[in-house]
Amino acid sequence: MNNELGSLKVNIILKTLALWFIALMGWKAEGDIHLLPKKFVAILAPHTSNWDLFFIMGVIFALGLKFNWFGKKEAFRWPLGGLLKRLGGIPIERSTHKNMVQQTVELIRSRDQVIVGITPEGTRSNTKYWKTGFYYIAHQAAVPIIFAFLDYGRKVGGLGPRMETTGDIEEDLKVIRGYYKGITAKYPECVGEVVIRLH
């Protein structure tokens, strides 16, 4: 199988820098990486600030892991393309007939090890509905969802419990809603309910 992303473990230099960063900011990282599967979708919520990206990258790297995120193919051109890929970036061809869910499912199936990070809210502003792509990616790729979090109240971030999708998205969202209810966002007033749009 194609395994160009290599090990899920981040190099020691990046881990050390991440540990220094979160300690400087007064944060701690939680999570046992030894219990993690080789492939999963990590969702981060609530997402209310640009700082979320820096903190979640710091926390994940401090735990000794690397994760993957998606960007337009054009953003991966020289001179930053190589760096972005080393930081977990995966170029997505948006002009293709395949949608994001299909492309991501195929990518997960083609790798031996991969962590796909997604913010279901899709925006830092208060939003009425969560985007459902993360759920269908995990379900179609047959990988679990891991609850990543940033609790600004406790200054703790990390990886929480895992959930195997059942195919009943409304019931599964009750589990997700229950977990994130106790997490404090940077801007609590921007946090919306964990709700999906019903067709």
Element (H, E) at 38: none
What's the Cα-to-Cα distance from 65 to each of 11, 35, 103, rounded to whole Å?
9, 12, 23
Q: In the prediction, which pLDDT does 26 show?
A: 97
Q: Where are the beta strands (DSSP E) in 56-165?
A: 69-72, 89-92, 114-118, 145-151, 156-163
Q: Where are the beta strands (DSSP E) in the chain?
A: 28-30, 39-44, 69-72, 89-92, 114-118, 145-151, 156-163
Q: In the prediction, which pLDDT does 143 show?
A: 98
48-71 tens-digit pLDDT: 888 888 899 899 999 998 887 777
Contact call for residues 44 and 56 (beta carbons, < 8 A)? yes
Contact call for residues 148 and 21 (beta carbons, < 8 A)? no
Instruction: Name which residue leads in pLDDT, 162 or 7.
Output: 162
Q: Using the structure block, give the residue that is written with the tokens 């760096």.
A: 83
15-60 tens-digit pLDDT: 999 999 999 999 999 998 888 899 999 998 888 888 888 899 899 9
Sign (positive or negative) of CA dihedral 59, 65, 71, 73: positive
In this predicted structure, the answer to whether residue 109 has a pLDDT above a threshold of 80 is yes
Contact call for residues 34 and 171 (beta carbons, < 8 A)? no
